Structure 1
Amino acid sequence: MAAQDVVIGVDMGTTATKVVAYRRDGELIARWQRGYPLDEPQPGHAVQDPRLILAAVLTGVAAVSAEIGHDRVAGLSFSTAMHSLMGLDAELRPITPVITWADTRATAQAARIRAAEGGLALHRRTGTPVHPMSPLTKLVWIREQDPDLHARAAHWVGIKDWVQLHLTGTLVTDHSVASASGLMDIHRLAWDPEALALAGIDEAQLPELVSTTTVLPGLTIEATAATGLAATTPVIVGAGDGPLANLGVGAVRPGVAACSIGTSGALRVAVERPAVDPAGGVFCYALTEDRWVVGGAINNGGVALEWLRGEIAADTPTATLLDEAATVPVGAGGLLMLPHLLGERAPRWAGGARGAYVGLTRAHHRGHLVRAAVEGVAMQLALVLGAMRGAGFDIHEIRATGGVMQHPLWPATLAAAFGTPLALLDDGEGSGFGAALLGMKALGLIDSLDAAAELVEIRARLDPDPASAQTYAVLIPLFGGLADTLAPANRALRDLKLPLA
């Protein structure tokens, strides 16, 4: 029998599930990926079919474990996109699709709760900004707009909870995912009574809260048949993809932040206990009971460029568009893009944001449009960095991960916009690697999360270009003010409810 020296990390992202296998020394030995759609059946709704995600998990685990050898698998550990919500009936069958973080239907409810007395206190208690992304505000929307559905739901869960229910027969949720729900008191690690009252639910409708390193008791007969793994294979509950991305890039010590850009984007720094920004500009989510991350997420990362490519140059490879954009001077000739195609989150946490190009002239060409999109994402993240520093968090290095980092325009733009050195990793599996490392810690294959950070290899370090950083230092305040300037027009356009087709 081969030694069980490999942990499989299952990373259930917004548009794809990735399954990766790592040895205990941090070497990646197998990788698999399958995409699935993010459906928008009507304006403001962003949902998914949970069956497609479950099928991707089962197929991916089967493929990777077969490639490396089933008897080498020490366990499965999970990462998930945060803020998802599903309703289940009394037989634990879905009665809703997966309502994702990108869903903005609860914009009005979030604005009302946020503006009410106690709104900021709710944020400070739960660590989750009051925003349409959060399961709390989604539940308020369902209670008000679809009371029949609200009454029919016996359980409310996240997508990882449901997938692990199918794999293990156990329904639980971890402190990390729960800390991003707006429903858990992060200081007590317990469901928050006031939040539950707002949502119109009780604790019995939510999964049991457990540590992210909890090991579930093996696989069901169905999961064993689908994956080829032994029924005794440990399943580590895991955590949210944001905190795990920090672990996956080794950003688990004070002062070292992680920047991840996939469909969306985020910037986070690790702290040793729950830490809340008094101004409510950043979130606080759990990795483990003694390791937390503080930061902010943005709704629009790589999706901004992919949308633009699909609309203006569908037959042109993304790398070619980025090559064109790299020939355009920093600042895109005075063109700014607010990349708020899916609304926006940090650091304003105000629903209703919409995208815009500002400063557009006939002199601008395709390269300018693309460069402005990249710069818009970078400047949005720079606003998050400013909020983190304004809340008292010292950040002297940023470690970046995500597929977009493969083209040099992205890391160069980020480093200059941040005005901070950027460390680039050898591979882009931040959250998947983080899940595997957390699994290794849970199974005793590594001693600590700090030791896990030593396994992370940095392939390059990039200092910000001084001239570019100076340009962005001027542009970022202009960029930051545009969302407030355009907010009245965006509200008016939303209220018109003009049809798309």
Structure 2
Amino acid sequence: MSEDDVVLPPAEVVIGLDVGTTAAKASAFGIDSSWRHTVVREYPLLHPKPGWEVQDPQVVLAAVMASLSEAAEAAGGAKVVAISLSSAMHGLIGLGPGGRPLTPLLTWADSRAGDIARELRADPRAAELHRVSGTPVHSFSPLAKLMWFRRNEPELCAKVTSWIGLKDWIIQALTGTLATELSCASGTGLLDLTTRDWNPTALELAGVEYEQLPPVLPTTSALGLSRSVAARIGLPTATGVVLGAGDGPLGNLGTGALTPGVVGLSLGTSGALRMAVDGPVVDHGGGLFCYALTEQTWVVGGAVSNGGVVVRWCGDVFARDLLKARAGQEDAHVDAELLSMARSVPVGCDGLVMLPYLLAERAPLWNPDLPGAYLGVRRSHTRGHFVRAAIEGVALQMSTILDDLDAVHPVESVRATGGVFRSALWRVVLASALARPLTVTGGAEGSALGAAALALYGLGRADSPLAGLALLPAGQDSEPTIASQADVRAYRELRSRVVALSESVAEAVTIFAG
């Protein structure tokens, strides 16, 4: 899949490569030009066992190479000054001799380490681990995943020479160098944010040696393409590969949300709210993460595992008749039809509430064991009610994260990105639940655009990451969505009930679990 703007080709191009949960997106941006070209190659998220959410590293790599090759070809005679990397965070791969993967890629959504995380949260060291690393104690973190391998796969662990993340896998494949960068490292639970190096206490808990982890380089570091990769994708070996950052921090840069008081919201399969700060922020309340963009700029925020996935799930469960009618069509999903049904349902869904914990939830509760639930079901509720309740459940989760960010710095506005915002319903519900003006940014490429901007800063082509962003093409921002005061009040009242319901469901789960 690709898209082109019909404009004159630029003299110079920078490619932002965003390797996400379900696709690799290579976006070529003209420098000082309105030209851009995006190539997307998708790959599956596999579920071999309950709670296991994995991918084949080689399949992901093939998608990366294919998207890069096509993006480089699209640049034509323009000089590609750099490839800059963005990736989903919190992944883990075990490598054996020769760099061969011995494990699949365990993604952020993999919750097999739920029991480990639960035990660790009860440990007196948990709060200190969060404070030092900036990463909450949760099953998504590589720290918990490593502890799981140590307990459940000791023979495999003995064969692993290196433990790496998704970004590190891509860096090694493109450049031949095994390394990581500060941003993705800061999301592992293994890093000391003060020293910017691996934390001995966390390594001891994880059961890994310092030498088994890649060196941590600045996000603006650049390496060269390996000879074989350069030939494969059609670029000179001198083309720089800027290591870049995690997709979350780069999403803030790509949306221009890099000043205190302006929150970046990304909503795809999962979702997050993040605010830029000038250095690591210690979250004494335990509800926020803190990850690096550069040495000087960090983002503090919270992520939800359940975002736009809730509507897709509703389609699979409540709209099989519509799916059957669409069988064989290029886009067999029925999201738009479901959203149309939900639009006619009033705020609050006539008493129906959803706790949208389909995947192991992260912020603000950091309780991966809490299951999803519909509460207040009545005979009069239609599938439109169930869909809208799911959307409202996501929005209310994100509003609690906003409260925590408000305590760091008063939040004035929200800049959002994500495919779900093509729907007016998502925009209105989020703006109402957050009680802030919500602007959907024109940078559809999101994290890829942020990666390209960071590259220009790292290469000395711009004085700051935001100055790098100003040199690149971005689409038109939407007019801010401003909620009615009546809707704001309704969601504020609803949220107070949802918090109590979440606590009640947690108690019920404990009882049924025995």
TM-score range, shorter chain: over 0.9
Out of 154, 173, 176, the position equivalent to 1:169 is 176
- Structure 2: which amino acid aligns with 1:341? L
Deviations 1:128-176 (A, max 9, x none): 0000000000001110111112221110001111122111101110000
CA distance in 1, matches of 2:77, 2:211: 37
* Secondary structure of the structure 2 residue equivalent to 1:148: helix
Aligned to 2:330: none
Moved more, 453-462 or 283-292: 453-462
CA drift at 1:70: 5.6
Aligned to 2:151: 144
Deviations 1:187-210 (A, max 9, x none): 110100100000001110000100
1:110 to 2:126 alignment: no
Deviations 1:248-279 (A, max 9, x none): 00011111110000110000000001111111
Moved more, 191-200 or 111-120: 111-120
CA drift at 1:484: 2.1
Q: Are the counterparts in 2 of residues 24 and 440 from structure 1 also a CA contact under 8 Å?
A: no
1:397 to 2:413 alignment: yes
Deviations 1:351-403 (A, max 9, x none): 2121111111111111111111111111111111112224x322111100000
Aligned to 2:451: 435
CA drift at 1:3: 7.1
Q: Are the counterparts in 2 of residues 24 and 445 from structure 1 also a CA contact under 8 Å?
A: no
Out of 437, 447, 462, the position equivalent to 2:463 is 447
Query: Does the C-alpha gap of structure 1 residues 362 and 141 become closer, same or farther in structure 2, counting only changes over 3 Å?
Result: same
Q: Are the counterparts in 1 of residues 370 and 509 from structure 2 also a CA contact under 8 Å?
A: yes
CA drift at 1:477: 1.8
Out of 234, 243, 256, the position equivalent to 1:237 is 243
- Structure 2: which amino acid aligns with 1:395? V
Unmatched 5+ residue regions in structure 1? Answer: 497-501
Aligned to 2:344: 327
* TM-score scaled by length of structure 2: 0.93
Aligned to 1:474: 493
Query: Does the C-alpha gap of structure 1 residues 394 and 20 become closer, same or farther in structure 2, counting only changes over 3 Å?
Result: same
Aligned to 2:160: 153
1:291 to 2:308 alignment: no
CA distance in 2, matches of 1:129, 1:222: 39
Aligned to 1:223: 229
Say how many residue pairs are matched.
Answer: 492
Out of 16, 36, 39, the position equivalent to 1:32 is 39
| Mapping of residues 254-269 of structure 1, within 5 Å | 254-269=260-275
Q: Are the counterparts in 2 of residues 70 and 229 from structure 1 also a CA contact under 8 Å?
A: no
* TM-score scaled by length of structure 1: 0.95
CA distance in 1, matches of 2:307, 2:501: 18
1:410 to 2:416 alignment: no
Query: Does the C-alpha gap of structure 1 residues 26 and 299 become closer, same or farther in structure 2, counting only changes over 3 Å?
Result: farther
Aligned to 1:65: 72
Out of 78, 90, 93, the position equivalent to 1:83 is 90
Note the aligned Cα RMSD (angstroms). Answer: 1.6
- Structure 2: which amino acid aligns with 1:165? Q
Out of 264, 274, 280, the position equivalent to 1:274 is 280
CA distance in 1, matches of 2:165, 2:98: 16
CA drift at 1:108: 1.3
Unmatched 5+ residue regions in structure 2? Answer: 1-8, 327-332
Aligned to 2:385: 368
Q: Are the counterparts in 2 of residues 78 and 238 from structure 1 also a CA contact under 8 Å?
A: yes
Aligned to 1:499: none
Deviations 1:459-494 (A, max 9, x none): 32111221111110001122223222112443566x
Aligned to 1:204: 211
Deviations 1:36-84 (A, max 9, x none): 1111111111111111111111000111111121642111001100100
* Secondary structure of the structure 2 residue equivalent to 1:462: coil
- Structure 1: which amino acid aligns with 2:24? T
- Structure 2: which amino acid aligns with 1:283? F
CA distance in 2, matches of 1:490, 1:45: 21
